[in-house]
Chain A
C-alpha cells in the first residue's frame, strides 16, 4: 500500500508541474506538441487547456465512451478503465480533467508506457474521452 501511495503522490506532482507548463491553442500547436513534447513544454506559457463544451454533456460522454471502448480499453485500460497500471478510472475522484487531457495528449513513461495520442485525436475528441473518464469517476 505504501508503494502505491508514493506512486500516486509523485504522479500528482507530475501533473501539477506539467499543467503549469502546458500550452494548448488549437490543432497546429497540438501537432507540434505531439511530435516534440519536450520542446513544446519548454516553450509553453501558463495557458491551460479548456474544453469547448460542457464535460457533463451526456452526448459528449457517450461519444467519449464509444472511443474509449474501441481504443483505450483494448490491451490497456480495460472496460470502464478498470484494467491497466493506472488507478481505476471508475470511482476515481482525484484526477482533474486538465491532467487527464494532458496525459492523453502527451502520453507518459515511468515503469510503464502510455503512448501520446495528441496527433491521433482532435482536441474535442480528447475532451470527450476526458468527459467519459470524469463520468466514470462518479460511478
Chain B
C-alpha cells in the first residue's frame, strides 16, 4: 500500500476540517506534495520550516511502523550549557546552521554532526549584565548568508559557506534600552531582514528593526508603542514595554510580515497607562518595504497580566480562505482572516482562565476583565509565563490537527508601583508588583499538557498530561508522527492520530528548542536540541519544586533509522 495513503486514511475519517485539501491528498498525493507545507521537503529552510508556521515535515521515511527503530546518528555539543539549547536549527542541502549560548553559531554536517565552521561574535561587555544573557533561539539562512540577532543588539550577516562576517549593524542601545537584545533570529522578507527585541517587561519603548539583508543598512524602524496619547496617557508610552521578541513570519503571496508583540509594562501596574496600549499584545501585519501597518489585531487591550501575544501566526484554511490561528499567553486562540485580520473565532485553550469571563468570538472584546490592584492579592490564571511559553506548536495537514503544549499554573499578584531604585540596572524588570507567587489552579494540581486540537474550533481530539510542563516546541511529520520532549530530557514520538506513545529516548537534560526533520542522501533525520534553557524553568520551580534538581545541558541529538 502506498504509505502516504495509509497514513492519511484514518485522519480523513476523523477530521472535520480542511476536507477539500485532504481529499486531494488522498486521491493524488503527488499533487498534494506541492501544496502549502510540502515545499522543499528535504530541508528545514526557515524557523517554522514554512511561512505558514506549521513545523510540519513532509518526510515519511520514519513513520508509525518503524519509529521504534530510531537510533542516534550523531551528537553535537557546543561546550557551553548556559541556558541550554533554545534554537530551532536550519537545515539546507545537508548543512545544519544553529546557535548556542553566547551567540555561538555553528555550521554542522547534517549527516555526520561534524562541525564545518564556527563563529563567535565579540560581544559588548554589557552582555554580562543583561537579564536574557544567553538566549539564542536560532539563525536565518538566505541570500548566501547566515543572519544572527545578537545579545548586544546587533544584526550580523555571515558568509553561508565560510562563516566569515559580511556585515554587522548595531540597532539597539543596550545601555539606555535595558539590555534590549535579539533573542530570536531576525527573519527575511525578500531583501529586508527584520526582528524585534526583548524588553516587554522592561521600562523601554519597544521597536521592530529592519535592515537591507545584503548591506545591513537600516531600512525602517517600527515603534510598537503607538504615538497616541489616548492609547498611552502622559509619558507612559516611554516605559510601556511593547517588544516583539519572537520571530515573525513573511508571507510572500501577500508580501506581508506577520509578527506578534509583547505585553505592556509595568506588567501588573496599569494605573499610569489607562488606555488600550497599542500596539502591545497585538498581532501586526506589516508592509516589509516600509514597516507600515497593513492591519493589526490587539488581543489583550490594556494588558495588565503579562499576556504577550508574541507567538507564531499559524496559517490554515477555513472555508477556502487563509486564516491565522494565534495563541496568546492569556489562554485564548484568535482565528482571523489573513487578509485583513477580521475575526473568525476566538476559543479558549487554557483550562484555567479567570482574568476574563471570556472573549467575544465575534468582536474580540474582553468580557468582564479582572484587573490587578494595589494592596489587594488577586489570583490570575494563567500565570505570567502564559498558558504556554514560547515553545511553538505544530500543524499536520494529514490529521488537520494543531499540536501544542500547555501549562496550568496560576499566580497570586499584588500590584505595586515600581521603585525607581529598583530600575537602575540594565537587567531590571518593570513588573509593577508588590509581590507575586505561583500557585496551583483552583481545585487541581499544576501540570502540563500536549493537546491535539482542531485549530479553528479548538475541539480537542487527544491530550497528554505531564507532571512538569514541557517547554519544547513540537514537530509533526507526514509519517503520522508528533515529536516533542519534556523538562526531564525524555524525548517522545507519538501517533499523530491518537497520541499513543510509539517511541522515547532519554536525553539526560530537558528540551527547550525546536526539533526538526530533514533528509540527506535519501535518509531522513530527526534532530532534537536538548539542554534545559531560559529563565522559565527557574521561575516554574515555584510551582514545581522538582525542577530544582534537573541538570542543565546542551547537546544536539540526531536520530535516523538503522
Contact = CB atoms under 8 A, between A and B. Distances in A.
B433 A70 contact: yes
Given A37-B128, A83-B438, A78 B542 contact: yes
Interface string B75-103: 00000011110000000000000000000
A82 interface: yes
A19 B551 CA distance: 26
Nearest to A73: B436
B125 A78 contact: no
Contact of B437 (A3, A73, A117): A73
Greatest chain B CB density within 10 A among A34, A73, A86 is at A73
A84 B532 contact: no
Given A70-B419, A70-B435, A85 B425 contact: no
Interface stretch (B37-45, B292-300, B533-541): B533-541
B538 A84 contact: yes
B424 A121 contact: yes
B437 A79 contact: yes
B538 A115 contact: no
A119 interface: yes
A116 B436 contact: no
Given A3-B551, A67-B419, A121-B424, A82 B542 contact: yes
A38 to B, nearest CB: 9
A87 interface: yes
B460 interface: no
Contacts of A36: 125
Given A76-B535, A111-B532, A119-B424, A69 B431 contact: no
B542 A111 contact: no
A125 interface: yes
Greatest chain A CB density within 10 A among B201, B542, B543, B547 is at B542
B134 A113 contact: yes
A44 B16 CA distance: 69
B422 A75 contact: no
A10 interface: no
A86 to B, nearest CB: 8
A70 B431 CA distance: 8
B421 A85 contact: no
B421 to A, nearest CB: 7
Interface residues of A, number: 39
A111 B438 CA distance: 23
A4 B548 CA distance: 8
Nearest to A4: B549
A74 interface: yes
Given A78-B539, A79-B542, A115 B133 contact: yes
Interface in A49-64: none
A37 B129 CA distance: 10
B429 interface: yes
A111 to B, nearest CB: 2
B434 interface: yes
A67 B133 contact: no
A75 to B, nearest CB: 5
A83 B539 CA distance: 6
Contacts of A116: 128-129, 425, 427
A112 B131 contact: no
A120 B426 CA distance: 8
Greatest chain B CB density within 10 A among A3, A70, A85, A86 is at A70
B384 interface: yes
The bracket for how many chain B residues form the interface is 35 or more
A111 B549 contact: no
Contacts of A73: 433, 435-437
Contact of B416 (A70, A117, A120): A70
A42 B264 CA distance: 42
B552 interface: yes
A83 B434 contact: no
A83 B541 contact: yes
A35 interface: yes
A115 B131 contact: yes
A117 B128 CA distance: 11
Contacts of A34: 129
Interface string A100-133: 0000000101111101110111100100000000
Given A75-B431, A75-B539, A85 B548 contact: yes
Nearest to B135: A113
Greatest chain B CB density within 10 A among A66, A67, A109, A121 is at A109
B400 to A, nearest CB: 37
A79 B538 CA distance: 12
B425 A115 contact: yes
Nearest to A79: B437
Given A70-B416, A78-B437, A117-B427, A112 B548 contact: no
A120 B424 contact: yes
Nearest to B535: A75
Nearest to B541: A83
27 contacts: A1-B549, A3-B551, A34-B129, A70-B434, A75-B384, A76-B535, A78-B437, A78-B542, A79-B412, A79-B438, A83-B539, A84-B541, A85-B541, A87-B548, A88-B548, A107-B128, A107-B129, A111-B552, A112-B82, A115-B129, A116-B425, A116-B427, A119-B424, A120-B422, A121-B422, A121-B425, A125-B421
